[in-house]
Structure 1
Amino acid sequence: MRRFFWILVLVAIVGLTAVSCAPAIEDDNPAPDPAQDEGGGLNEVDPGSNLEAEPDVFPRATLTPRPISDPIEPDSSPEEGYPPLPTPTPLPEGYELPPTVPAPNPYPEASGSLGWVIKPVGEQCAEAPTTPDLQTAVADMVAFGIPVEASEMTELAVCAACGCPTSAHFRLQIDSGYLGNAEALGWIAEE
C-alpha cells in the first residue's frame, strides 16, 4: 500500500511539472517579426482614406502648470496679522545695572610690562568660595591662556557685612597685554 501511495505521488508531481511547462495556448497568428517586416514601424496612409495628421496641441504640457487664476493680493499689511510687541517693563527706581564685562580678546599680545591683578577669594556669608586656593586661581588663568609670572595671597581691609568680599585676596602678576582677558574673568587691575 505504501509503495502504491509513493508511486501515485511521484506520477502526480511529474504530471504537474509537464503541464506547467507546456504552453497554455497555441497562437494561430504569431506576432510579426520586426526583422522580416519591410515597412518599419510606420505604414503609409492610403491616398483615398480620409485620415489626416492630428493638429499640434498648444500649449504643450510643461513641468510647471500655469495658474488657473491671478494671484490673490493680501487685503492687509503683513504686520496687521501679528500681535503687537510687548512693552518692556521699566526698572524700579534706584536700580543700577551691573557693569558690563568687557569681551575677552581672542588674540592678546604680550606688551612686555607686568602688572598685578587682584580678586577676592570669596564673598562673606557665602557657603563656599568661588576659587578655593591660590593654585586653582593660577591654573584657571593659565587655562584661559593668560601666563602668570608671580602669585601670592594678600589681606585687605573690607566691609564687614554679608555680600562684601572676603579680606583674603588672590594677587597675580601678569603681562598688561592680557589685562582685558583677566578682567573678563573677574580680576581687577591693582593700582
Structure 2
Amino acid sequence: MLSEKWISAALLLQLCCTGSGSCGKVLVWPCDMSHWLNLKIILENLADRGHEVTVLVSPDSLIIDYSKPSTLNFEVIPLAQEGDFFANKLNDFLDLATTVMPTMSRWQSARKMQEFLLQLTGRLKLLCESVVYNQSIMKKLRETNYDVMVIDPVVHCGELIAELLEVPFVYTLRFFMGGTVEKYCGKLPAPPSYVPVVMKQEKHRN
C-alpha cells in the first residue's frame, strides 16, 4: 500500500495540474414572476461560484424581493411613477390566459395576446428610459465593467442597455418564432433536441 506521504504527494500533483478559472461580473435584465424563479437559481449558483451578479430591478416588482439579504446585488431603478401597475396587469393576464384565450383559435389568441402586450408598452418604455436616461446609473454600470449581460427577451430594453455598455449578452430563453433572434442576436445556442417554445399549447400536459 502507498504511504500517506505518497498519497499526499499525488493529491498535491493533481491540484497543481487542475486548471484555474476566473470570476466575472454579470449584469441581469430580468422578467418578473415565473421567469425570475427559474433565473434566480442560475444566478445564485453563479454568485456561489464567486461571480459578481447585479440585477436591475423595478421598484414595483411583484416577486423580486431586493430588500432581503442575498448573494445577488440589486440595482433598483428609480421610477417617476410607482404603484400597483404590474399587480393589476397580472390579474388581467391570468384572466386572459385561463378564461379568454382557451376559447379562441390560435390566431385569435395571438391577436388577443398582442393587444395585451401593447398595453404594457408604455410602462416598459418608462422603465427603459429610467435606466438609459439616468446618467448616474449608466455611469455606475459603465464603471463596473461588466463582462456579460443576461437578458430576458420578454422585457424590452435589455439589448439597448447592453449596446450602450458595449458588453455581450445572452438571452435566458427562446421567445421569438424559430428562435432566430436569440440565435443571431443573443448568441443563445439552439439545441438539437425538442424544446417547447411560446405560443404553442401542449395538450398532453392538460
Whether TM-score is above 0.5 comes out as no
| Structure index of larger Rg | 1
TM-score, with structure 1 as normaliser: 0.19
- Name the structure, 1 or 2, with higher relative contact order (CA <8 Å, separation 6+): 1
TM-score, with structure 2 as normaliser: 0.18
